[in-house]
Amino acid sequence: MNNLLIVNYVINGKDVVFTINPKDSLLKVLRDNGYTEVHNGCQTGDCGACVVILNGRTVNSCMVLAASAKDGEILTVKALGDIHNPHPIQRAFAESGAVQCGFCTPGQILSTYALLLENHDPDEKDIRRALDGNICRCTGYVKILEAVKLAGRLMKEAEHV
Amino acid sequence: MSEKFTNAGHSHSKIDSIALACGNEKYTDDFMTDTPLHIAFLYSDIANGIISSIDYKAAEQADGVKLILYHGNTPDTLHTTAGQGYPEPSPYDCRMFDKKVRFVGDRIAAVVADTYKQAEAALKLIKVEIEQLPALFDIEKAIDAGSPVIHSDDEYPAIPVTYKPEENIAAEIVTGFGDLEKGFKQADLIIDETYSMQYASHCATEPHAVSVHFDERGRLVIITATQVPYHVRRIVSIVCGIEIKNIRVIKPRVGGGFGGKQEVFLEQVAALAAWRLKRSIKIVLSRKEVFISARTRHAMRSRIKMGVQKDGTITALDVDDLMNAGAYAPHALTVLSNAGAKVLPLFNKIENLRFSGRSVYTNLPVGGAYRGYGATQGYFALNQHIDEAARYCGEDFCEYVKKRHIKSGETSRVFEALGEGKEGVRQFIKSCGLTECIDRGAKAIEWEKLRGKKLRNGNRIRGVGAAVAMQGSGIPEIDMASCHIKMNEDGSFNLNTGATDIGTGSDTILAQIAAEALKTDYSKMIVLSSDTDTTPFDTGAYASSTTYITGNAVKQCALKVYDLILKAASEMLGADKNELKVEDSKVSSRDGRTVEYGEICAFRLYTSGQLQIQASSSFVAHESPPPFTAQFADLEVDIETGEIILNRIAAAVDCGHPLNPLLAEGQVEGAVLNGISYALTEDYIFNSNGRMTNPDLGRYKIFNTVDTPEIITILADTYEDTGPYGAKSVGEIALNGPAPAIANAVYDAVGIRLRHTPFTPEKVWKLLNEQ
């Protein structure tokens, strides 16, 4: 049996302490602890459904050992906004028709968030590059690209950045 | 057209989209039940063999293991995993676990344990001996005498259709009309070519999953990522011997289906384990398991012989399809028949026609339903033939098709000849916007400017190509959908349907349809769908049926409710029903008095003629109005590397009056991109033992944002009178265009015919250098 570890994280602004198996991925630990908005699409780092922001950078949480992320600050899509007060990016995705099955959406939104924090006015090429690790099988990306552009405008308007 | 409607025809975001964007909605694996047990499967790494022994004693003793399921302790009920109407047109050729393994990825056993890791670890302790048999990987050899026979037990078809497992034939169709020989004699040119399309995975971002628990009264609750909740309930009941009354199936949010989740192959295992252990059970497949053990697009070889006269008349068409069913045959008959039924009516002036096809068993992964459902394979071949025919008679492709495609008011003898595993249903086309699609698509892609120009840029030569297609809207006389609507005292309505929203937005457009009929706003509809306890029957999300079939059920039902509202209002206002005016949830009399919907409901609940204002409705379609598409590819071929650089693709679609243009466009765009990557990159690479060597999203290449070309979507302006507020289907059709449009564009650029997908640079380069 593996020795269990006790680790601290700050998830969506809240301090948490988890007991984890050192072999587990961050994806597994997050999901097992109720952060089911982080989706498991492939476990090989190819699809981006499990993207979270770890210490300011987007990562595929399936490719990160939970133990190595200890003391880290983690943001899931729920950090951005909620159903009563959605973030402009979340609104933009919904309004643009960028959400079909929605399984890739949290990852898409977090990659968008990371992009827009750095670059308030990305051109289409910037957007395509920033989201190239997030696979979507429903939309053909057309409305996702539109959503990111709309989100940029909404965030500028709201000075939400 | 949308002007006269207040809901239908208006773009709205999906009613679940903001909750999805906020991470609030739940998929199957997100439901937390009390400490569920987990299942890991043992898969065969041998393509064909008989299990001579299984020793699972050590595995049974392993940490956390609760149960091991295999052929020796599970029901041997023959069934099909195809989630289709009952009795299914697919043969009963599989068991939950079998003594035989028939492909690499066939299930030998399942371990149920406290944790997935424990179950997985125990798999390694199971000792299996398999007597290996010669395997069959080549569809051309499947029917040769002396080839291994894959199904030789007591498999049988559930409906009277041709089924010859002793010859590896899972399905066979021969139909036609006219005199082929005479037709070919009248031809000036006979084009006789063979095409093929490869295996493909649906790659829904959510892998297959099922979560089973018991409710407070001991009934089995199956939460599952499915397109077919009612078929799940029936198949689980039959296979596991659990009464229907003890099963509740709930479809939560589903992360895409595309046909892959029209298949019932996990639920019965989870249900049986739960029933035996009286514990919650969870199965979540890994991506690799989805690739190797779930369902696929049927690979197909299609030979087309077409007789053409100098004036372009097609004098005869002989189509011979050979489809790879894989090791089992769910959908093997119906995908095959759709390769004819959804394809051949498009050119309805052909007088001499034969469609023959066979689906054959092989020791490769199992085919199943996949968006496009045979039509994709059929149109890939036909459109290249049409391109050749048009070139032969010196006509532009677009003009050639416009002259000859089926039009409103016309029919095709194919409709009657070919149905879903039986004869089809005669129908006349009532709406056809294909000519408009061709004109608008051609304009968008700058057809006149680019076609035949072979513009050169260094090593790259540019070309444009087109393809046309149709599909259907549900399965006539078979698919049934139903719904129930009740009114609340604030003027809102509960809309309960069995329809299965797998990300398509059907919950939203059904709300729009109901609201249109009820003269209210779609935001007043509270939608509940896909729960076998609380929502009425629906065949499910397949065959491009939901908008048309469930949509019609919802419209009928809403009109019944509307009538009850009018009756109550007439009583309240003391005015004749026919003199009332209804607008925006309010009913007014001629003298200007008004009652609001909420008041009307309260009046009936509490004051007079007390009743719940409510209605239910069921709908079966008697026809299947086809949507149409014209698609155009603008690309460059690098003649040094063989690479195809796709610049743009334009997809013009006639889906009738689009009920929600934003969502309809989304269906088109997603299907187009799936079609593009199927044409260019997606493939199952098998080794000589029949094992897929690229079962991950890194090596099975689907497109990301950087790979994706510009997609131009055009929705034609048509109206289908039999559809709910003019709508036809839109879910599948757009997948049929990209491969042939790209192939025809490559021919336009460099004069090579790509008859075998995927169009890898190596294939293109080779053909270029053989010229």
Among A33, A48, A77, identify where a domain stops: A77
Q: What is the distance between the alpha carbons of residues A90 and B18, in angstroms, rounded to a whole number?
A: 7
| A107 and A143, same domain (yes or no) | yes
Kindly state whether residue A109 falls inside one of the protein's structural domains: yes
Q: Could you tell me the two tokens for B352?
A: 């001499």
Shortest distance between the Cα of A44 and any Cα of chain B, in A, equals: 8
Amino acid A161: pLDDT: 46
Token pair, residue A132, equals 């190239």
pLDDT tens digits, B577-627: 999 999 999 999 999 999 999 999 999 999 999 999 999 999 999 999 999
Together in a domain, A152 and A112: yes
Q: Which of A50, A77, A104 is the last residue of a domain?
A: A77
Predicted ipTM of the assembly: 0.98
* Same domain membership, residue A36 and residue A97: no
Q: What is the pLDDT of residue A158?
A: 82
> Over the stretch A26-42, which tens digit does the pLDDT of each residue have?
999 999 999 999 999 99
Coil/strand/helix, residue B255 = coil
Q: Residue A160: is its pLDDT beyond 60? A: no
Are residues A48 and A97 located together in one domain of the fold? no
pLDDT > 90? residue A125: yes
Rounded-to-integer distance, Cα B569 and Cα B577, Å:
8
| CATH code for the domain in which residue A53 is found | 3.10.20.30
Instruction: Indicate if A11 and A39 belong to the same structural domain.
Output: yes
Q: How many Å apart are CA B24 and CA A52, to the nearest integer?
A: 16
With respect to residue A45, please indicate whether it lies within any of the assigned structural domains.
Answer: yes
Torsion angle in degrees (nearest 10) through CA of B629, B630, B634, B638: 80
Q: What is the DSSP secondary structure assignment for residue B688, as one 8-state letter?
A: T
Is the domain of A14 the same as that of A72? yes
Helix (H, G, I), strand (E, B), or coil: what is residue B565?
A: helix
Check CB contact of B206 with chain A, cutoff 8 Å: yes
The reply to whether A65 and A95 lie within a common domain is no
Residue-level pLDDT at B717:
86
Contact A78 B207 (CB under 8 A): no
Distance CA B739, CA B672 (A): 9
Q: Is the dihedral of CA B713, B476, B555, B250 positive or negative?
A: negative
Chain B residue numbers with beta carbons less than 8 Å from the beta carbon of A99 are 13-14, 16-17, 20-21
For chain B (771 residues), the mean pLDDT of every run of 10, in chain order, is 84 98 98 91 98 98 98 98 97 98 98 97 98 96 93 93 96 96 98 98 98 97 98 98 98 98 98 98 98 98 98 98 98 97 97 97 98 98 98 98 98 90 88 98 98 98 98 95 98 98 98 98 98 98 97 98 98 96 97 97 97 98 97 98 98 98 98 98 98 97 98 96 98 98 98 98 97 74
Contact criterion met (CB < 8 Å) for A140 and B255: no
Same domain, A9 and A64: yes
> Looking at the complex, does the CB of residue B503 fall below 8 Å from at least one CB of chain A?
yes
When divided into structural domains, chain A yields a total of: 2
Q: Does B13 touch chain A (CB under 8 A)?
A: yes
Token pair, residue A36, equals 């089911």
Q: Is B159 on the interface with A (CB under 8 A)?
A: no
Put simply, the answer to whether B505 touches A100 (Cβ < 8 Å) is yes
The strand pair at A51-54 and A57-60 is best described as: antiparallel
pLDDT at B2: 54
Q: Is residue A83 one of the residues assigned to a domain?
A: no
pLDDT of residue B33: 74
Contacts of A36 in chain B (CB under 8 A): 26-27, 29-30, 32
- Whether residue A51 sits in one domain with residue A98: no
Range of the domain at A63: 5-77
Q: Do residues A98 and A67 both lie within one domain?
A: no
Position A2 scores a pLDDT of: 60
Residues in chain A within 8 Å Cβ distance of B22 = 37, 77-78, 80-83, 86, 90
Beta carbons of B205 and A93 less than 8 Å apart: no
List Cβ neighbours of B487 (8 Å cut-off, separation of 6 or more): B493, B561, B564, B565, B597, B600, B601, B612, B613, B614
* Residue contact A97–B13, C-beta within 8 A: yes
Q: What pLDDT is recorded for position B3?
A: 63
Interchain CB contacts (distance < 8 Å): A and B: 192
Q: A96 lies in a domain?
A: yes
Check whether residue A11 and residue A71 sit in a common domain. yes
| Chain B residue whose CA is closest to A39 | B206
In sequence order, what E strands does B274-365 have?
Answer: 281-284, 300-308, 314-326, 353-361
Give this prediction's pTM: 0.98
Burial of B430 (C-beta count, 10 Å sphere; 0-12/13-18/19+): middle
Q: Following DSSP, what letter does each residue of B573-641 receive, concatenated?
A: HTS-GGG-EEETTEEE-TTS-EEEHHHHHHIIIIISS----EEEEEEE-S--PPPEEEEEEEEEEETTT
For A32-87, how does the pLDDT look when each residue is reduced to its tens digit (9 = 90+)? Answer: 999 999 999 999 999 999 999 999 999 999 999 999 999 999 999 999 999 999 99
Asked which of A43, A77, A111 is the last residue of a domain, the reply is A77
Does residue A30 sit within a domain?
Answer: yes
The confidence score (pLDDT) of residue B771 equals 74
Q: Are B488 and B639 in contact (CB under 8 A)?
A: no
Closest residue of A to B500, CA-based? A101
Indicate if A94 and A42 belong to the same structural domain: no
A82 lies in some domain: no
Residue A148, in any domain of the structure? yes
Q: CATH number of the domain at A132, please.
A: 1.10.150.120
Chain A residue at shortest CA distance from B13: A95
pLDDT score at A157: 87
pLDDT above 70: percentage of residues in chain A:
98
Choose among A91, A137, A141: nearest Cβ to B705. A141
Q: Which of B29, B503, B697 sits opposite A135 (nearest CB)?
A: B697
